[in-house]
Structure 1
């Protein structure tokens, strides 16, 4: 069953450039992984000037999604990148969930 990985970020105006740069690194990386189907990114601005960004990544099944998560963590280790620290430093909030596709 397909798995849809959905993140929502609230990004202050001052952090948008760095955030989008990191998002591009992640999106480019996951597209090369086994079991990847597609990803999308959506954005809008809120009344306070924050960027609201939603990303989706669709995977063939739960097993490949788990392997993808592990691969992303390995990439972070190789790069010396700490996602939690970056989000905290930039004052970015994140909500993350995995969804299943509803069959017709």
Structure 2
């Protein structure tokens, strides 16, 4: 069953450039992973001037997501990137969950 991985980020104005650089890197990396189907990104500004970004990645299965997560962690380790530290430093918040299509 297809799985939809959705992230929602709230990004302060001063963090936008670094966030977009990282998001582009991650999306490019994920598109090369087995089981990847497609992705999209959406943005809006909230009432406090923050940028709100929602990314949606569709995967073939839960197993494909699990393998992609492991591959991302290995890549982060390889390049010396610490995502939780970046999010904290830039005051970016994230909500993350996996969804599946509703049956009709």
TM-score, length-normalised on structure 2?
0.97
Please give the per-residue CA displacement for 1:3-49, whole angstroms capped at 9, x wherever unaligned. Answer: 10000000000000000100000000000111000000000011211
Please give the per-residue CA displacement for 1:25-77, whole angstroms capped at 9, x wherever unaligned. Answer: 00000001110000000000112110000001000001111000000111100
Q: Distance in 2 between matches of 1:54 and 1:103?
A: 23
After TM superposition, which residue ranges in structure 1, 4 or more long, deviate above 6 angstroms?
A: none
Secondary structure at 2:47 match in 1: coil
- Structure 1 stretches of 5 or more lacking a match? none
Count of residue pairs brought into register by the alignment = 104
Q: How does 1:82-93 map to 2 (within 5 A)?
A: 82-93=82-93
Q: How does 1:13-92 map to 2 (within 5 A)?
A: 13-92=13-92
TM-score, length-normalised on structure 1?
0.97
